[in-house]
Structure 1
Amino acid sequence: MITIRGDMLEGGGQILRLSTALATLIGEPIRIVRVRGKRRPPGLRRQHMTALKVLASLCNGQVEGLRLGSTEVFFKPGDIRGGSYRFDVGTAGSVSLILQAAMPVMVFAPAPVRLRLRGGTNNPMAPPVDYLERVLLEDLRLMGVEALLRVYRRGFYPRGGGEVEVQTQPSRRLKPIMLQELGRILEVRGLVYSCRLPSHIADRMASSASERLRRIGLNPVFEKEVLQPGNPKCSLDPGCGILLSIKHSHGFLGVDNLGVKGKRAEVVGSEAAEQLIKLVEGGYPVDRHLCDQLIVWMALADGVSRIKTIELTLHALTCIELTKTILKAELKIEGDLGRPAVIECRGIGYEK
């Protein structure tokens, strides 16, 4: 049995989600102690409980300690299976973070999987679902992952209520990925979205981002999604945000920014643009979100992957430690925490 301390490194819910997903893949029982030990309060919240329920359903697994505030969890996985599943977080807890744990298991199911989640789609503490759809899944396709994501309704804090569905096809073995340099820029795209807010807010976010990007020769093509009550995709609570993405000759990268009450729309847009400019001018093909999300896939792939990121985060270091401990993958880091880094991983060539 594997035992993992939930207060190591990042010390949050990521340890619970990722370690349980990896244990599911290799079919090993796992115990996580001191769950979310560096959070206040520690222990399970609703979104973490939902992630465990999703993983248990995907493999007919058994869970002990599945209650609010629990600081110790035992998970015994069964056989991974396909099928259709539906879960409701019950809060604005991020569905993106649940999908990060579920997707590696879904992809290696022996049959297609359809997973529908209800909760927060655009959350300040997690990548938005739009990032998963337009950046992460695009890069994973280069590795051989077949997955589609559709947003049925947006969900913002405090009530959530967003709905997202992901469909996956079975994969036998993943190819490694090489993102060592920013390739030739082929497309720059933007998405601005708002719910229950005046339409000029989305226009101003797009305009300010475009103006800043054009100064360095980037000409983004924007999609605007302005939703009001009556539209089935409109959220229960007001909210807005922006996603900027680049397709280059080696892959995809992106940045996002969520609107905050009291912050001008122009600032939201220009802040996102500045993040993208730093990536482009530094020649970094991997943004800080993409780095920690790719590590588990690199560890599962057959061969050597290598990525260059603008920032080595504590989340990324946590992912690295867990994949080394549970999957026995070989990873090397050139760089320091909070600084640019190159990560090399010799994957285990996982196949189900």
Structure 2
Amino acid sequence: MIRIDGSKGEGGGQVLRTSLALSLVTGKPFQMVNIRAGRSKPGLLRQHLTAVKAAAAVGEAELEGAELHSKELTFRPKSLTSGDYHFAVGTAGSATLVLQTVLPALLAASGPSTLVLEGGTHNPAAPPFDFLTKAYLPLVRRMGPGVEAMLDRPGFFPAGGGKFEVLVQPAPLKPLHLLERGNVVRRQATAMIAQVPYDVAKRELETVGKKLGWLAEERRVEELKRSTGPGNVLWLEVESEHVTEVFTGFGERGVRAEDIAEAVSEEARVYLEAGVPVGHHLADQLMLLLALARGGSFRTLPLDGHAQTQIETFAHFLDVKVSVEEVSPQVREVSVR
């Protein structure tokens, strides 16, 4: 039985999700204590509990401690099973994080799977649906498996109510080497609004234009006529020869549209000036795929706490070595072998 202290490293939900994913793939059971001890509301919240139960369904696992606010969990997987699954968070908690918990396992399953997920699709502190489809899933497909995701309806915080479907065609993961970004071939800034004044989107896009110099034809408003609650998301898509990156900001009550746009623009500016192919958020997810493929490399920005936590969690389940080399003050090369 592997024992993991959830308070170590980043101290949030990531170590739990990664542990669940790796437990499913390897068949190794684990016990975790101090779950999300580094957060203001420690223990399992609704979206974490949904991820645990989703992993249990996929792995026919035995559970102990799977209840709201629990700070300890024992997870014993029995058999990795493909099939048709429907997982609902029940709140505005992130459904995309639930997907990232079970997808690595389903990529290694014996047959195809279909998932329907309900909850938040565009949440702060979680990968939005557009990041999955434009940045993450294309890399999964390059490594072998086939994965497609279709958005039925968006779900914003705090109303939730989003829904999307994912089709998974498993295949062995092949190592991937992503050391060059290549030339930028397309840039697109999208301000999505639902039950929010059009002026908010207009101000966000004007700020992107001023901060990054993106042209009017590279900026667009997407106004949703159907959603369960109000929401505003700004994402910047940078498509290069070898990779696409997505940077996202979320409108918040009491925060100026210009401030949201300036923060997202700054994140994109740092990425573009560094010349790396992989940004911070994509690095966390790509590292897990490479660990499961037992090989690969990529260049990224200096690693944050989430990436370091990923590396530490791998060591509990996998016999892989992750090395991080400083190429320059703003560039790191991550190698998995």
Instruction: State TM-score, norm by structure 2.
Output: 0.93
1:126 aligns to what SS in structure 2? coil
Report the alpha carbon displacement of residue 253 of structure 1 after superposing the two structures with TM.
1.6
Among residues 279, 284, 290, which one is paired with 2:282 in the alignment?
Answer: 290
Quick one: distance in 1 between partners of 2:302 and 2:95?
24
User: How many angstroms apart in 2 are the aligned matches of 1:12 and 1:19?
Assistant: 12
- The CA RMSD measured in Å over matched residues stands at 2.1
User: In 2, Cα distance between the equivalents of 1:289 and 1:309?
Assistant: 10
| Residues 1:56 and 2:48 aligned together | no
Q: Which residue of 1 aligns with 2:163?
A: 163
Paired amino acid for 1:180: L
Decide whether aligned partners of structure 1 residues 201 and 149 sit closer, same or farther in structure 2, where only a CA change above 3 A counts.
same
User: Judging changes above 3 Å, is the alpha-carbon distance between structure 1 residues 24 and 202 closer, same or farther for their aligned structure 2 residues?
Assistant: same
What amino acid maps onto 1:248 in structure 2? S
Deviations 1:79-115 (Å, cap 9, x if unpaired)? 2122111122122111122122111012112111111
Q: Which amino acid aligns with 1:322?
A: T
**Aligned twin of 1:312:** 303
**Partner AA of 2:45 in structure 1:** R
Taking only the aligned residue pairs, the percentage that are identical comes to: 37
Counterpart position of 1:3: 3
Structure 1 stretch 175-184 or stretch 65-74: which is displaced more?
A: 175-184
Contact 1:312/1:335 (8 A) holds in 2: no
Any idea what SS the aligned residue of 1:263 has? coil
Matched, 1:333 2:324: yes
Q: Partner of 1:301 in structure 2?
A: 293
Q: Could you tell me how far apart the structure 2 residues matched to 1:7 and 1:213 are?
A: 38
Give the C-alpha shift of residue 180 in structure 1: 2.0
1:68 corresponds in structure 2 to: 68
- Shift, 1:219, TM fit: 7.8
2:28 corresponds in structure 1 to: 28
SS of corresponding position for 1:274: helix
- SS of 1:257's partner is strand
2:223 aligned residue (223, 226, 246):
226
Whole-angstrom distance in 2 between the partners of 1:255 and 1:138 = 16
Contact 2:9–2:308 (8 Å) recurs in 1: yes
Q: Report the count of equivalent residues.
A: 336
Structure 2 residues not aligned, in runs of 5+? none
Structure 1 position 206, deviation (Å) = 2.8
| Other-structure match for 2:248 | 256
Q: 1:350 matched to which residue of 2?
A: none
Which residue pairs with 2:198 in the alignment? 199
Query: Once the 2 structures are TM-superposed, how far is the Cα of residue 208 of structure 1 from its aligned partner?
Result: 3.0
Structure-2 change in CA distance of 1:34 and 1:157 (3 Å): same
The CA distance in 2 between the partners of 1:27 and 1:137, in whole Å, is 24
Note the C-alpha offset of 1:75: 0.9
Deviation at 1:195, TM superposition (A): 0.8
Q: By how many angstroms is 1:223 displaced?
A: 4.9
SS in 1 for 2:131: helix
* Runs of 4+ off more than 4 Å: none
Aligned to 2:153: 153
The match for 2:173 is: 174
Q: Is the 8 A contact 1:257 1:272 kept in 2?
A: yes
User: CA 1:161 to 1:188, structure 2 compared with 1: closer, same or farther past 3 Å?
Assistant: same
Tell whether the 8 Å contact from 2:4 to 2:32 is kept in structure 1 after alignment. Answer: yes
Deviation of 1:326 after TM superposition, in Å, equals 0.8
Give SS of 1:273's match. helix
Q: CA deviation at 1:214?
A: 2.9
8 Å Cα contact 1:61-1:78 kept in structure 2: yes
Q: Secondary structure at the match of 2:49?
A: helix
- Take 1:293 and 1:188, find their aligned partners in 2: how far apart are those partners? 23
Q: 1:281 and 2:273 equivalent?
A: yes
The one-letter amino acid paired with 1:200 is D
Unaligned runs of 5+ in 1: 347-352
Report the more deviating stretch, 77-86 or 314-323: 77-86
Letter in 2 for 1:278: V
Residue 143 (structure 2) aligns with: 143
Task: Tell me the secondary structure at the aligned position of residue 80 of structure 2.
Answer: coil
Q: 1:44 to 1:339 in 2, by over 3 A?
A: farther
User: What are the Cα deviations for residues 241-277 of structure 1, in whole angstroms up to 9, with x where unaligned?
Assistant: 1111222222222211111223333443343223212
Hey, what's the Cα distance between the residues in 2 that align with 1:72 and 1:7?
A: 11
Match of 2:333 in 1: 342
Matched, 1:39 2:30: no
Cα offsets for 1:171-207 (capped at 9, x unmatched): 1x21222222321112223332111112333233234
Deviation at 1:296, TM superposition (A): 0.8
**Mapped partners of 1:335, 1:270: distance in 2:** 28
Distance in structure 2 (CA, Å) of the matches to 1:291 and 1:62: 31
Distance change in 2, residues 1:33/1:267 (3 Å): closer
Output the CA distance in 1 between the equivalents of 2:135 and 2:261. Answer: 18
